[in-house]
Amino acid sequence: MRNPGIGLIGTGFMGKCHALAYRSVATIFPDVLAPDLITLCDQPLDQASKLSKEFGFSKATDDWQSLLSDPDIDIISITTPNKLHHEIALAALQSGKHVYCEKPLSLTISQAREMANAAGKSRSKTIVGYNYLCNPAIQHARELIHQGAIGRITHFRGVVDEDYQADPDLPWTWRVTKSEAGLGALGDLGCHLVSIACTLVGPIESLVADMQTIYAKRPDPDGGNPRPVENEDVASALLRFENGVQGSMSTSRSAWGRKNYLVWEVHGDRGMLTCNQERMNELRLYENKGPVSTQGFKTILSGPAHPSYGAFCPAPGHGLGFNDLKVIELAGLLKAIEDNKPASPSFSDALHFEEVIHAISTSATSGERVEIQSII
């Protein structure tokens, strides 16, 4: 098998993150084929040309469709604004390319289902950018749960807050529109928390929820009248998992002081596990055993004993970062392609995560409990 050719669409924060992962993945994981960075796509063309040199791509274009007909390109990376994911992903699958798409899949659940169905009928591999799932601390937590370290799971609790929309004077952007971004805090942040909840506890069956737009309008960046905010700043839900476990989650993009406060707790009848993404290399474990006088939380620092930490660093406690998780995620896709096995999380996996966040929106509007599969 030849080295996979890469076509990357989008050069923002996540576009650069993908480029860094493509350039370093074979160094970190020498058992995967080294990607060949073929074409970088963005608009305007002069920006794409400039960044193609910085990112290490051979060519630049402002026409994403030209990537689909290039026989040297095997994988399409989609790091565009949310509204473009659906069209590009469907076209890429139709052309036989593997697809690496940032979350969310699309603006609406019907479009997300169309993407998952198309992927299911395709021979292409798909993966969606829920890279927090690649955190060695979370993977170790999953293993501890399977081993019964905290006993029978009884409850899940999670929060994911940031403050990038906390300032009421922050100008209006496309991120606050349904036509460009879709959901607000749920689509940007809450879906990550859902992905972790499902990974650690299992699929979610139903929920009841509420949500709020804190700032109904934001200043027009061009100096005109304030413009309306169309999606939510805050959302909360009471969850019921398919296995009977109950839980809760909340998310806010307007929480001052929170930068990437993705915190979860899994409670069991013999202990609990908790982790905070702002301290992503620390997993805390409480076990109800031994003398009460010596019981307490144990902090487990990520190290080579926790895959895939050792691929980056031979010493524990030195810490991985956000971009490292993207490298692990990409390695999973490349191995799936080479071994002809499903990648994870695939479009199908991501569909459930996004069914949950759209169910939260539906429940918040109706005021009723919503079964996940019942949403339109």
Q: Tally the domains of the chain.
A: 2
Q: Is residue 1 very low, low, confident or very high in pLDDT (cuts 50, 70, 90)?
A: confident
Cα radius of gyration rounded to whole Å, the chain: 21
- Between CA 26 and CA 333 the distance in angstroms is 12
Q: What is the pLDDT of residues 24-46, one digit of tens each?
A: 999 999 999 999 999 999 999 99
Residue 373 lies in a domain: no
Local structure of residue 188 (DSSP, 8 states) = I
pLDDT of residue 279: 97
Residue 341 lies in a domain: no
Same domain, 90 and 201: no
CATH number for 170: 3.30.360.10
Q: What is the pLDDT of residues 165-221, one digit of tens each?
A: 999 999 999 999 999 999 999 999 999 999 999 999 999 999 999 999 999 999 999
Residue-averaged pLDDT of the chain: 97
Same domain, 166 and 290: yes
Same domain, 224 and 278: yes
pLDDT > 70 in the chain, percent: 99
Residue 165 lies in a domain: yes
Residue 325 lies in a domain: no
Residue 371 lies in a domain: no
Q: Is residue 373 very low, low, confident or very high in pLDDT (cuts 50, 70, 90)?
A: confident
Domain edge (last residue) among 114, 131, 148: 131
Same domain, 296 and 203: yes
Residue 70 near residue 63 (C-beta atoms within 8 A):
no
Same domain, 222 and 356: yes
Same domain, 176 and 111: no
Residue 60 near residue 39 (C-beta atoms within 8 A):
yes
Q: What is the pLDDT of residues 231-266, one digit of tens each?
A: 999 999 999 999 999 999 999 999 999 999 999 999
Residue 374 has pLDDT above 70, yes or no: no
Provide the domain limits for residue 309.
133-320+351-366
Residue 376 has pLDDT above 80, yes or no: no
**Per-residue exposure over 125-141, b if at least 16 CB sit within 10 Å of its own CB, e if not:** bbbbbbbbbbbbbbbbb
Residue 338 lies in a domain: no
Residue 118 has pLDDT above 80, yes or no: yes
Residue 149 lies in a domain: yes
Residue 69 has pLDDT above 80, yes or no: yes
Residue 342 lies in a domain: no
H/E segment holding residue 249: strand 246-252
Same domain, 199 and 261: yes
Same domain, 146 and 254: yes
Domain edge (last residue) among 131, 152, 173: 131
Domain edge (last residue) among 83, 110, 131: 131
Which of 232-235's residues contact partners 24+ apart within 8 Å by CB, and which partners?
A: 232/183, 232/184, 232/185, 232/186, 232/361, 232/364, 233/165, 233/184, 233/185, 234/185, 235/185, 235/186, 235/190, 235/209, 235/210, 235/211, 235/360, 235/361, 235/364
Residue 375 has pLDDT above 90, yes or no: no
Q: What is the pLDDT of residues 312-350, one digit of tens each?
A: 999 999 999 999 999 999 999 999 999 999 999 999 999
Same domain, 45 and 190: no
Same domain, 271 and 193: yes
H/E segment holding residue 353: helix 347-366
What's phi and psi for 40, nearest 5 deg? -105, 135
Same domain, 141 and 73: no
Same domain, 105 and 211: no
pLDDT > 90 in the chain, percent: 98
